[in-house]
Structure 1
Amino acid sequence: MATQSLSLSLSHFFFLFFLTSLSPVSSQCKHPPIIFNFGDSNSDTGGLLAGLGFPVNPPYGRSFFRRSTGRLSDGRLLIDFLYQSLNASFLSPYLDSLSGSKFTNGANFAVVGSSTLPKFIPFSLNIQLMQFLHFKARTLELASSGEGSLINEEGFKKALYMIDIGQNDLADSFDKNMSYAQLTKRIPSIIIEIKNAVKSLYNQGGRKFWIHNTGPLGCLPQKLWLVQKGVLDQVGCLSVYNSAARLFNEALWHLCQELRTELEGAAIVYVDIYAIKYDLIANATKYGFSNPLMACCGFGGPPYNYNVRVTCGNPGHEVCAEGSRFISWDGIHFSEAANSIVASRVLSTAYSSPRTAFTFFCQD
């Protein structure tokens, strides 16, 4: 009993430590932070809901917002915690016409389900880039006509451009029953789309880039439920899925190195999200989490609490008690508690190459 109490105390300590590390650092910014984000459901703050009206039902949003906001979590996402670390308001979805935002702190182009390929299907990375180009042109047009509160040319130059995409490209390849060899041949095409996006943003004046690699795909309860007879690693994750994610991440890392030499004056930070998330899953008890490969919200109970026919937010779903310590929220996306720890690790600079404070873009 004493041992169990000590374990709970340590877990509580770790949780408080990570939340404390998210204290605002806005005093380090010499000008208001502006961020433009491109990505998928890992960073969508309501784009799918606003753009297509696709329902994201409770209990999504229960832990922080106390209502569904279109985020695929019980609360805040990694991008929300990063923005809060700047003491800035949350980033509004570009597609949300009712948010009342003038997007003075940037815009979020990420939409659930987005990938890099095929490049002309909403809301692929290429489409998100086209939306940004329209947004910038229209914003500058309005600013030149006397609307002084909008982002000006200098603001676009000083902004941070975040990219967090690729997971759906890999998942789609597996869903189409591609062999591992076929998938590896597809990775260069995914990387080219990311390269083209960065170069296009650079040609528009962007100089500060923050690029996340993809997490351990084989540790998602959804994938584990779908692939019943896959080879598992020592943690219980699908080896071939994680191998594909690592291969993609290696190619992305090399791309960032290449772009640093090609794009004069550009600062490109590569962030190892995979290492952060895999460590969190492999050492879940150290951080106060239980059942690291099981969804809080889903159906079916242990070991994964996931069923593609009864997903979170739909009739018949089962959800853990509020305040429970689960890493996976719905079998695909992280819980707010897990996202807070991922954010603290990102902010530590230990997983960034080169090691760079998140505030670097607003210090000049």
Structure 2
Amino acid sequence: MAIAFTFSSFQIFTTTILLIFSPYCSVYAKATTHSNPFKNVYAFGDSYTDTGNTRSNTGPNGFTFVSNLPYGSTFFHRPTNRYSDGRLMIDFVAQALSLPFLPPYLDPMADDKSPGGVNFAVAGSTAIIHSFFKMNNMTLDITPQSLQTQLGWFNKLLQSKGCKDSTTSPKECKAVFDEALIWVGEIGANDYAYSFTSSVPTNTIQQLAINSVTAFLQELLKKGAKYVVVQGLPPTGCLTLSMYLAPSNDRDDMGCVGNANKQSYNHNTALKAKLNVLKKQFPNSVIVYADYYSAYLTVIKNPHKYGFKELFKVCCGYGGGTYNFNYLNACGSQSSTSCDNPSQYINWDGVHLTEAMYKAMADAYLNGNYSQPPFSYLLSKKQQSG
């Protein structure tokens, strides 16, 4: 995030930034199954979408108490390694489509041949390949997986189904993609965070990240992907960690960190421009932009409509005060405490959201006006195709 911290704040930042976007889980709770438009959902992204490809001992450092209560307490009533009190956005998407929760690709118990789909998202993952950060001495990035890694895993799954490409195996690829929703969760926030204070300009990070996402989407579309949803970045300046670390005079009209939100907004603008190009290149596919940024700010502007009372204070944390956040006393540790009513909070642990906020965002995409074109249009195109 492009935030002008003092050096002492940066020391805290380097300790805590690896905590961002790091939910870990391996839960196969089922949604009620009945007639549904898709047989599978294939999900990609970072920790906001990860349902178990990383765990406490394999993912980014920090928030190592994710396997402790109160994580998972709201819905699962036990820790699930999701960085939330309950379900993530992708869980609500699966349920809305009457599909099981997506198993993580790396879980040895997951069966990638079973109906419902697979989740390839990785906590701490970047859009840009890891070697770029290593080459430029961006030591905050210790997560080797990137969006390219996830694409490699998906290609292996496709090959197991006989799908190589739309030219040499059109029938097999058609069988996969005609019944599949491709869900690309938010990806790119870690790229900016890991490059903080480096000599690489923010504009370079943006260009490389957008180009990576574009290349990823092009490969899927060339293989025959027909129904694709791509999430933008949320307003990262509204996360408690940003509020906690940034100078108090760096605020926008929403009360969030202005520089961080501007960075996310600019990223999303560039992403939407690329998606418009892809829509013209692949007119037979439906490509939907899920406007995370606008949906999130709509809640910030009118929180009581959604049942929220706390916009920036975390439900699970330490210290009370304005934010109830302290990086040395992370959620789930013995010293932390949690609120009795997480549904009234937007921020769960300082870097991730509550189930209630994930539900609000999923509803904004699936049933509201924050998908372009509307998600209902994608469903109608699917129904028309049979």
TM range (shorter): 0.7 to 0.9
The separation in 2 between residues aligned to 1:47 and 1:331, in whole angstroms, is: 21
- Out of 261-270 and 85-94, give the one that drifted further: 261-270
Residue number among 45, 52, 58 corresponding to 1:46 in the alignment:
52
- Identical positions, percent: 33
Q: Secondary structure of 1:140's match?
A: coil
Q: Answer 1 or 2: which has greater helix percent.
A: 1
CA offset digits 1:266-293 (Å, max 9, x no partner): 2211111111111112321232211211
1:162 aligned to 2:183?
A: yes
Q: What is the 5 A alignment of 1:195-206?
A: 195-206=214-225
> TM-score, with normalisation over the residues of structure 2?
0.78
Q: Quote the offset at 1:254 in angstroms.
A: 0.3
Residue number among 246, 251, 254 corresponding to 1:227 in the alignment:
246
1:124 aligned to 2:135?
A: no
Q: Quote the offset at 1:307 in angstroms.
A: 1.6
Q: Secondary structure of 2:162's match?
A: helix
Q: Quote the offset at 1:298 in angstroms.
A: 1.4
The separation in 1 between residues aligned to 2:369 and 2:338, in whole angstroms, is: 34
Residue number among 66, 71, 75 corresponding to 1:60 in the alignment:
71
Provide the residue aligned with 2:168 in structure 1.
none
CA contact (8 A) 1:26 1:86 kept: no
1:70 aligned to 2:78?
A: no
CA RMSD of aligned residues (A): 2.6
* Unaligned 5+ runs, structure 1: 1-22, 142-151
Aligned length: 328
The separation in 2 between residues aligned to 1:134 and 1:93, in whole angstroms, is: 14
CA contact (8 A) 2:310 2:345 kept: yes
CA offset digits 1:77-108 (Å, max 9, x no partner): 11111111111111111111124564422110
> TM-score, with normalisation over the residues of structure 1?
0.83
Q: Quote the offset at 1:178 in angstroms.
A: 5.1
Query: Does the C-alpha gap of structure 1 residues 218 and 195 become closer, same or farther in structure 2, counting only changes over 3 Å?
Result: same
1:105 aligned to 2:116?
A: yes
CA contact (8 A) 1:28 1:359 kept: no
The separation in 2 between residues aligned to 1:289 and 1:55, in whole angstroms, is: 26
Q: Quote the offset at 1:162 in angstroms.
A: 1.4
Query: Does the C-alpha gap of structure 1 residues 194 and 126 become closer, same or farther in structure 2, counting only changes over 3 Å?
Result: same
* Unaligned 5+ runs, structure 2: 1-30, 132-142, 164-171
The separation in 1 between residues aligned to 2:324 and 2:380, in whole angstroms, is: 41
CA contact (8 A) 1:170 1:245 kept: no
Residue number among 247, 259, 264 corresponding to 2:266 in the alignment:
247
The residue type paired with residue 274 of structure 2 is L
CA contact (8 A) 1:184 1:244 kept: no
Q: What is the 5 A alignment of 1:167-316?
A: 167-173=189-195, 176-177=196-197, 182-316=201-335
